[in-house]
Amino acid sequence: MRVGRPVKAVPQPHCDYCGARAQLAQFGDAAYPYRDDHGAVWTCTPCGAWIGVRPRSKHNVPLGRLANAPLRDAKSRLHDMLEPLAEAKTRRDGISVFEARAKAIRWVAAELGFDPLPSSLHALTLDQCEQALRYVEVWKAHRHSG
């Protein structure tokens, strides 16, 4: 356990599942969810939910909403499904893979009429992830058949 002054962080996100304030955990803290150092993470221990912070964020701005195991799983499936599209777009348009991933998420979200439009995969709810997975699956099937 690290001992020290509480980390000042703005904004402090809330856990979507229980409504409690998330706690910031660093590699080495008891609440830190990973075995390796993936940077600071906002966690809700009772819910088993967490989310990382934006790279180089001085204020530990969360990447999105806290995610429990089912949401983490859905996000990872959606990421895998969109990754070939993002990589193709990277080659075709000469943009970074990060930009291409963000564009892919915004494309699906716009097609499905999500409001507000998510800035990244990490902003999606479980329900939105599942809608997006179904949408991309159907879209890919049509594209390959036609």
Interface with Zn ion by CB under 5 A: which residues?
A: 15, 17-18, 44, 47
Rounded to the nearest 10 degrees, the angle between the axes of helix 126-145 and helix 97-111 is 90
Provide, rounded to whole angstroms, the least separation between the CB of residue 21 and Zn ion: 9
- Measured from the CB atom, is 12 or 90 closer to Zn ion? 12
Provide, rounded to whole angstroms, the least separation between the CB of residue 23 and Zn ion: 10
Compute the distance between CA of residue 88 and CA of residue 5 in angstroms, rounded to an integer. Answer: 46
- Measured from the CB atom, is 47 or 129 closer to Zn ion? 47
- Measured from the CB atom, is 40 or 85 closer to Zn ion? 40
Residue 40: Cβ-neighbour burial (10 angstroms; 0-12, 13-18, 19+): buried
Element at 119 (helix H, strand E): none
Provide, rounded to whole angstroms, the least separation between the CB of residue 11 and Zn ion: 17
